[in-house]
Amino acid sequence: MHSDSRLIEAPLQIRSDILNILYKSNASHLGSSMSTVEMLYAMYSTSNIDKIKNKSMDRDRIIVSKGHAAAATYSVMKEFGLISKSTLETYHQRGSLLQGHVSHFVNYVEHSTGALGHGVSVAVGHAIYLKMIKSKSRVLVLCGDGEVQEGSVWEALMLAVTKKLNNLIILIDNNKISSIGNTEEVINTGSLGDRFIGFGAFVKEVNGHSISEIEDWIKNSGSLAQPTVLICNTVKGKGVAFAENDAIWHYKSINSDLFNEAVNGLK
């Protein structure tokens, strides 16, 4: 157990918020939202939030390439004071800016995503800019392990390695389930870390539900000469027993019985 209570209480609060907004709006993507909670938390906790709020040109950038983790992204942003509680509660409802995929129309969101395989290229553009202005800030990208089936991810990585973008950190949500099945059966991405190593990145496999472990390896990136890829081993649906490791919770929405069961299960 971590002595730092934020590492225990914050994920619980975020998961509770996710369940609430998904239930109220009858929305989907429970599985990915739950698997990415700690990753997203670590991305924001290692970033300079004041610079993000001030929209400073040398701010850290957070790009959620797997845009369907929107409920988690917005819930984590609330935790860091970037979205209000009342705004979060409008998630996925008519008239809300908080749609089912991450949107740049929401303040402090860098880039709209939803079609997979876009975020790393955009992140590379930001990372090149930060190098150009000699900033020490980082660009953090959240990608799915299914998403890396998109070839554009590897186009971007090859350039990032060539340009020695050590300010780029790609976090892979390695929950081993893509859209409708296990990645092992769809496109076998076994030895995922070796593949990234083969492309020239610095790769570290971490517990994707350990905020402190992810934070440590994000902070380590500055000492390297190449981009970092963190293979974050996660459980799709983490924290919601009936949803864990079941692909159907990419799509399914929760009814009142399951909502109560899930909320009670978090305690």
Partner 1 sequence: MRNLFLDLLYSQMKQDDKIYFLTADMGINLVEKFEKTFPERFLNVGIAEQNLIGVAAGLAESGMKPFTYTISNFLTQRCFEQIRNDVVLHNLPITMVGTSTGFDNAPLGPTHHMLDDWGSIASLPKIRIGCPFDSDSVKRIFTAVIDTPKPSYVRIPKGNGYVLEQNILGEKKKDEAIVSYGSAIPYALEYSKSRKLPIFLAEWLGIDIFGFLNSINLKDYKKITVIEDHFANTGMYSYVCQWKNVTNSQLEIKSIAPYNYQDKIGIDIFDFMEKIL
Residues that bind partner 1 (CB under 8 A): 57, 104, 110-115, 117-118, 120-130, 132, 151-152, 155-156, 158-159
The number of beta carbons lying within 10 Å of the beta carbon of residue 84 is 11
CA distance 130 to 121: 14
Report in angstroms how near the CB of residue 164 gets to partner 1 at its nearest: 13
Q: Which is nearer to partner 1, 125 or 265 (CB)?
A: 125
Q: Which is nearer to partner 1, 128 or 186 (CB)?
A: 128
Report in angstroms how near the CB of residue 247 gets to partner 1 at its nearest: 24
Residue with tokens 């992204």: 73
Q: Which is nearer to partner 1, 102 or 218 (CB)?
A: 102
Q: Which is nearer to partner 1, 130 or 211 (CB)?
A: 130
Residue with tokens 């870390």: 193
List CB contacts of 89: < 8 A, sequence separation 6 or more: 20, 21, 24
Q: Which is nearer to partner 1, 114 or 265 (CB)?
A: 114
Q: Which is nearer to partner 1, 201 or 240 (CB)?
A: 201
Q: Which is nearer to partner 1, 155 or 244 (CB)?
A: 155
Report in angstroms how near the CB of residue 213 gets to partner 1 at its nearest: 28
Report in angstroms how near the CB of residue 135 gets to partner 1 at its nearest: 10
The number of beta carbons lying within 10 Å of the beta carbon of residue 257 is 8
Phi-psi region of 189 (alpha: psi -120 to 50; beta: other; left: phi over 0): alpha
Q: Is the separation of the CB atoms in 112 and 102 below 8 Å?
A: yes
Residue 98: what are its φ and ψ, rounded to 5°? -85, 85
Q: Is the separation of the CB atoms in 165 and 124 below 8 Å?
A: yes
Whole-angstrom Cα Rg for the chain:
17
Report the amino acid identity of residue 177.
I
SS3 call for 144 = strand
Report in angstroms how near the CB of residue 196 gets to partner 1 at its nearest: 16
Report in angstroms how near the CB of residue 168 gets to partner 1 at its nearest: 10
Q: Is the separation of the CB atoms in 52 and 126 below 8 Å?
A: no
Report in angstroms how near the CB of residue 25 gets to partner 1 at its nearest: 23
